[in-house]
Amino acid sequence: MSPDHPPGLDLDRLRGLLDRERPGLVTGALSGRLIEGGRSNLTYAVTDDTAKWVVRRPPLGHVLATAHDMKREHRVISALHPTNVPVPKPILLC
């Protein structure tokens, strides 16, 4: 897999989702890379050469539904974002 198409991240599907759910957010072709060193959920750096985002997903393969609860992670980050706790601005949960 090339750096622009990291394993576990379909950039074409991501672009389609973002265009539907957040029109105008993405202005160019997406590229991404896996951020190494994580211990559980996979983390990717994604850019359209204008803006940068982080995409998180459960590990590839079989995992317990509650072990990598992305809804819970999104809910916690969304609750913390307006506070002084340094968390990224959540954009979308899929």
Work out the number of other CB atoms within 10 angstroms of the CB of residue 27. Answer: 9
Name the pTM for this structure. 0.81
**By the 8 A CB rule, do 35 and 45 touch?**
yes
Q: How far is CA 57 from CA 27, 35, 85, in A?
A: 23, 12, 22
**Domain range list for the chain:** 11-80
> For 15-59, what is each residue's pLDDT tens digit?
999 999 999 999 999 999 999 876 678 899 999 999 999 998 888
pLDDT higher at 62 or 24: 24
